[in-house]
Amino acid sequence: MDHLVSPSILAADFGNLARDIELVNRSEADWIHCDIMDGVFVPNISFGIPVIEHVKKVARKPLDVHLMIIDPDRYLARFHEAGADILTVQYEACNHLHRTVSEIRNLEMKAGVAVNPHTPVSLLKNILPIIDMVLIMTVNPGFGGQSFIMESYSKIAEMRKMIDDGGHKVLIEVDGGIDTGNARKLIEAGVNVLVAGNTVFSSKDPIETIRKLKKFQ
């Protein structure tokens, strides 16, 4: 399949959020990535359910929502009601991951599991049959604009092999330090979905930047 691009609105202009969502609507982007941070699981607070509801009213692309929060089970239904199409939880934040993922799918959302840079992807082997996506964090989560962690390539390759060997239909998404300079190598390593925040919204021409991220095959 062709790879997907999911611009992260964490880097958007929140004073003109509707404008930036409309920009993504007009672009070749496939999804809209929304990072939810609680200031506990990660050392930052981003935005919550009211913003997701606002984005959903404007967006014409699926909402790719990443929960970087403790005890995500309390909020699964609320994010579904707010408009999440894909809901990703952190492996490190889930005491009963199988139960959490099953509930996401019962709510008729696609289910993703994210792993931080220090977490081995091998820990996801037994959950692959019931998820739709693995999000490999290529920076330590919490803030945009960080540099890509080079060791991520080996994790991506390991995850790609695990998925293919098991015959699973699971996408690999990456988030953190993604730009037009490393997009091709990431896709060649087996990535299906590129998340890009500052690369898109800090560029002079975000629509053209998204097009460049999409063109790598």
What letter represents residue 29's amino acid?
A: A
Judged against a pLDDT cut of 90, whether residue 34 lies above it is answered with yes
Give the pLDDT mean for 43-68.
Answer: 96
Judged against a pLDDT cut of 70, whether residue 136 lies above it is answered with yes
Judged against a pLDDT cut of 90, whether residue 168 lies above it is answered with yes
pLDDT band at 173; cut points 50, 70, 90: very high
User: Any idea which fold 4-215 has?
Assistant: TIM Barrel (3.20.20)
Residues 61, 64, 69, CA angle at the centre, nearest 5°?
A: 150
Judged against a pLDDT cut of 70, whether residue 52 lies above it is answered with yes
pLDDT tens for each residue of 91-130: 999 999 999 999 999 999 999 999 999 999 999 999 999 9
**Burial readout 169-206 (b: 16 or more C-beta within 10 A, e: otherwise):** ebbbbbbbbbbeebbeebbebbbbbbbbbbbbbebeeb
Residues 6+ apart with CB under 8 A from 188: none
How high does pLDDT run on average in the chain?
95
Residues with a known catalytic role: 35, 175
Alpha carbons within 13 A on the beta-carbon side of 201: 25
Rounded to two decimals, the pTM is: 0.96
Helix then strand count (H, E) for the chain reads 8, 8
Taking the C-alpha atoms of residue 20 and residue 138, their distance in angstroms, rounded to an integer, is 24
